[in-house]
Structure 1
Amino acid sequence: MQSSAFFIIWMVFLSSGLGEPTDLLDYRGTDQDLQLEALKATLLENLGMDGPPETKEKTSYHDLLRLYLQYRNLRRNRQPLQSSSRGKVFFISFLTVQPLNGQQGQSGSEPVQWFRAMFHRDARVTEEFTVGSARLKLQTRPQDDSFSHPALTPNILIRIHRSFTSLTETFYMEHFNAEGHSATVEVTAAVERWFTQTNDTVLVIDVGLLGGAQEATPELSLQLEQLVSSVREARSANEDDGHCSRKSLSVSFEEIGWSDWIIAPSGYTMFFCDGSCPQNYKPASMHTQVKSRLHRLTKGATPRPCCVPAAYEPMILMHYDSRGKLKLTSFNDLIVSKCYCA
């Protein structure tokens, strides 16, 4: 059975001198699991699914590229004006993968099919950004659209070199077994060394396939993601005292077991509004001020204003649907960007 393989490097760049907005507080409550369960249930409901789909439909390399480019353009076009102070900017470089001369090598007594890809240092990645994380992701899918065949379990060899002219200097080397149709390798240290310790313009990535992947053809793409945030200012005493503010909780789709059907983003920051609303604190309107005074005059007999979202930012999801088709879905009111009392 012939197979195709997708190799994806996810790279997150964090600005060295940048921080979070002033109204953002990390959430450290005891109900984080409940928050995540509520998010999962809400996402599935709005996607019209009872549970995570089975990704049985084969996605061609060209379809994957087309959807990625649409995803990038949608994110760019729908990014709000204030997103330049805190947002995500990413782009994708699809690399050309070539078999090495001779194609076959040896690892012990087992033949190895070697492939090579070269990533060129992109001018859009400036010195003010540093590597946050880099992951090499391998996905194997059968050429036919049937997943009735057992998943491949090939041995994978990964070598990352400093440059094409310095193949003797290896930044990273690993030999592992890929179980199922996907495998993820953490390569942050290797990529960071290349960015920070060299001026080389090319990073060489060699992939060796053994065993069940002998007939596979790897396809490699590099996703660069830059997280841009405004300069952090001192938190106000009111926010530290538990008054209405925006709280955050990081969500990783890989950690919650959804990375097999949610392709992008790999995760996001879940924001919500929480805290008390004393009189004249972040009032949404004159009605809020009246409501707050009425609560005080009636000694609590009438409800006080509540901390609620004031504005949202869109989030676009690249995912498989209930039929196993890869698609894009936009959520316009999922990410809270501002809170007030109303």
Structure 2
Amino acid sequence: MPTQQSIAAFTLVTVCLCSAAHVQTSRHEVIGEDSERRLVLEALKTGILSSLGMDKPPVVRRKATQTELMKMEQLYQEKLSELGLNATRTNRVSTLLLPDRVQKLHPGHRADSWRRHVHWHRAVFMEKPHIQDELSLIRAELHMSRQVLERASRKVKVHLWNSTRMRHAAWADVTSDGNVSQSIVLDVSDEVQKWIGDSRAGSLEVDIGNRGAEYKFNVTLKLTHQRSTRTARSVKEDECGEGELCCRQAVTVSFKDIGWTDWVVAPLEYTMHFCQGSCPQNYKPASMHTQVKSRMAQISRGGTPRPCCVPAEYQPMVLMHYDSRGKLKLTPFEDLIVSRCHCA
């Protein structure tokens, strides 16, 4: 069960940090900051995979359709509400951009239009979204839909402004009220982030090409922002002080940075915590046993190990992901995010 195994993700980190506390050097001399972060992320990845009964990340050969994603998103939000985590939704802000124009490109406008018999259309987004300072872009999705045409190819090519790569995707069937249409959703976060951040860039151009019959399609750009919570968090609560006493250390985990966005759908990132720091006499004792253990360490002058800084409470997290069979599912982890530390 995830609730029994997810704590394994932090066992290696806790052991290393507790062991380092017995050495008469600083934490950064024992484990460098970069090495420590890598250690935490590797332990986290191993723990999550173990909790899900996997040896390695699954290979997803078929992505869920837009309809399947919408249904699972609703279940995901219901699960968050059930666990009392609905407050996280207030941190998300969505912006929908419509193209200023969609135009057909004349033959020869693109070098590959005649050679490969590809019909190209260009969607042009002129106005950049106004993103407030307290918001950060966490995802940009290109949504396309069309009515089913018998002679139209199942595959589509997509190329974005200032990008060196060409995307190849396939239309997924969506049935609603007896009408059949086809849709595609592409993650274009990197390209959109560059476009927004480049003050010299004008419009964002999206070229969409297909072989076979021509068709009319709808295209939109959905941006998801997240409010920065860094200013809202208490430094005393989340960050270790100069004295390096037992406390929570915050680490932002981005599933994109660790290369898991192909099978982890939500959340895209979250702030985890681990416990670190020293445990002197009577500091945050978990129990009477802790006080006795601390006293024994003092009397034996280090012959008996001191209490260790470990998690005291947790808050849950829900993972929306593909399983080893390629099916989209929800897995709650009730003991993954540390909310309080003590000495034990």
Normalised to the residue count of structure 1, the TM-score between the two structures is 0.64
Task: Give the partner amino acid of 1:132.
Answer: S
Cα deviation per residue 1:238-294 (whole Å; 9 max; x = unaligned)? 832322121233322122221111111122233211121110112223332222122
Counterparts of 1:297 and 1:49, CA distance in 2: 46
Compare CA radii of gyration and give the structure with the larger one. Answer: 2
| Matching residue of 2:75 | 70
Counterparts of 1:94 and 1:326, CA distance in 2: 25
The percentage of counterpart residues that share the same residue type is 36
- How many residue pairs align between the two structures? 277
Alignment partner of 1:187: what SS? helix
Counterparts of 1:236 and 1:131, CA distance in 2: 21
**Bigger strand share:** 1
What is the CA-CA distance between 1:325 and the residue it aligns to?
0.9
Cα deviation per residue 1:168-225 (whole Å; 9 max; x = unaligned)? xxxxxx454334556533434765899xxxxxxxxx9764313579878756544332
What is the CA-CA distance between 1:52 and the residue it aligns to?
1.2
CA RMSD of aligned residues (A): 4.4
Counterpart among 325, 333, 336 of residue 335 in structure 2: 333
Counterparts of 2:63 and 2:194, CA distance in 1: 32
Task: Give the partner amino acid of 2:165.
Answer: N
| Matching residue of 2:165 | 177
Q: Does 1:210 align with 2:209?
A: yes
Q: Does 1:156 align with 2:159?
A: yes
What is the CA-CA distance between 1:326 and the residue it aligns to?
1.1
* CA contact 1:97–1:115 (8 Å) conserved in 2: no
Counterparts of 1:237 and 1:61, CA distance in 2: 40
Q: Does 1:187 align with 2:186?
A: no
Distance 1:231 1:134, change over 3 A: closer
Counterparts of 2:239 and 2:312, CA distance in 1: 21
* CA contact 2:248–2:274 (8 Å) conserved in 1: yes
**Higher deviation after alignment, 316-325 or 237-246:** 237-246
| Matching residue of 2:104 | 104
Cα deviation per residue 1:38-60 (whole Å; 9 max; x = unaligned)? 21111111112222112123412
Q: What are the equivalent positions in structure 2 for 1:1-342 lying under 5 Å apart?
A: 28=33, 30-79=35-84, 89-91=90-92, 104-106=104-106, 107-108=109-110, 110=113, 111-115=119-123, 130-133=134-137, 135-137=139-141, 154-157=157-160, 174=162, 176-179=164-167, 184=188, 185-188=190-193, 207-210=206-209, 220-229=221-230, 230=232, 232-233=234-235, 239-342=241-344
**Higher deviation after alignment, 299-308 or 276-285:** 299-308
Counterparts of 1:62 and 1:237, CA distance in 2: 42
Counterparts of 2:168 and 2:324, CA distance in 1: 21
* CA contact 1:105–1:113 (8 Å) conserved in 2: yes
What is the CA-CA distance between 1:65 and the residue it aligns to?
1.3
* CA contact 1:247–1:271 (8 Å) conserved in 2: yes
Counterparts of 2:238 and 2:272, CA distance in 1: 22
Task: Give the partner amino acid of 1:300.
Answer: G
**Higher deviation after alignment, 240-249 or 305-314:** 240-249
What is the CA-CA distance between 1:138 and the residue it aligns to?
5.1
* CA contact 2:142–2:220 (8 Å) conserved in 1: no
What is the CA-CA distance between 1:320 and the residue it aligns to?
0.7
Counterparts of 1:42 and 1:244, CA distance in 2: 23
Distance 1:79 1:117, change over 3 A: farther
What is the CA-CA distance between 1:75 and the residue it aligns to?
2.8
Counterparts of 2:297 and 2:72, CA distance in 1: 52
Distance 1:219 1:316, change over 3 A: farther
* CA contact 2:239–2:250 (8 Å) conserved in 1: no
Q: Which sections of structure 1, spanning at least 5 residues, go unmatched? A: 1-24, 141-150, 159-173, 195-203
Counterparts of 2:196 and 2:100, CA distance in 1: 22
What is the CA-CA distance between 1:302 and the residue it aligns to?
2.9
| Matching residue of 2:6 | none
Distance 1:100 1:236, change over 3 A: closer
Distance 1:191 1:78, change over 3 A: farther
**Bigger helix share:** 2
What is the CA-CA distance between 1:338 and the residue it aligns to?
1.3
What is the CA-CA distance between 1:319 and the residue it aligns to?
0.8
Counterparts of 1:57 and 1:154, CA distance in 2: 18
Normalised to the residue count of structure 2, the TM-score between the two structures is 0.63
Q: Higher relative CO (CA 8 A, sep ≥ 6), structure 1 or 2?
A: 1
Task: Give the partner amino acid of 1:177.
Answer: R
